[in-house]
Amino acid sequence: MQDGAPCHTAKSTQNWLGDHLNFWSKETWPPGSPDLNPLDFSIWAYVQARACAHQHSNIESLKESVSKEWSKMPASYIRTVCSKFRPRIEAVIEAGGGYID
C-alpha cells in the first residue's frame, strides 16, 4: 500500500521497491484510500475486536494482547481478505474513485 506515509514515499523506499518488487508506485495509489488497504479495511478491525475484548490496565497489556491476536490470526483469514483486493479496486474504479463501503 503506497499511501502518503513518509516511510512509504521516501525516495530510498521507492527505489528499493522498484529494484526488488513488481509494485504500484506512490503515484498510482489514490490518496486516502483505506478501502483499498487490507490492513485498514479488515485486518486491524479483526485484531482490535479480539485484543480489546476486555479492558487493559496498561499499555503493555494491550501490546501483548495485540501481538497475541496478530499471531493467532488464521492464514485462511488473511488469504480471504487479500482475495477481495482486486474486486475492491474494481469497485472503486466503477465508483469513479469514490468511497465503496
* pLDDT, position 3: 63
- Give the Cα separation of 60 and 72 in Å (integer): 18
Average pLDDT, the chain: 85
Average pLDDT for 60-76: 96
Q: Which of 45, 5, 25, 87 is nearest to 100 (CA)?
A: 87
Rounded to whole angstroms, the Cα distance separating 38 from 69 reads: 17
Residue type, 68: K
**How far does CA 82 lie from the centroid of its chain?**
10
| pLDDT given at position 31 | 64
Please check the confidence at residue 70 and state whether its pLDDT lies above 90.
Answer: yes
Q: How many CB atoms lie within 10 A of CB 86?
A: 9
In this prediction, residue 93 has a pLDDT band, given cuts at 50, 70 and 90, of confident
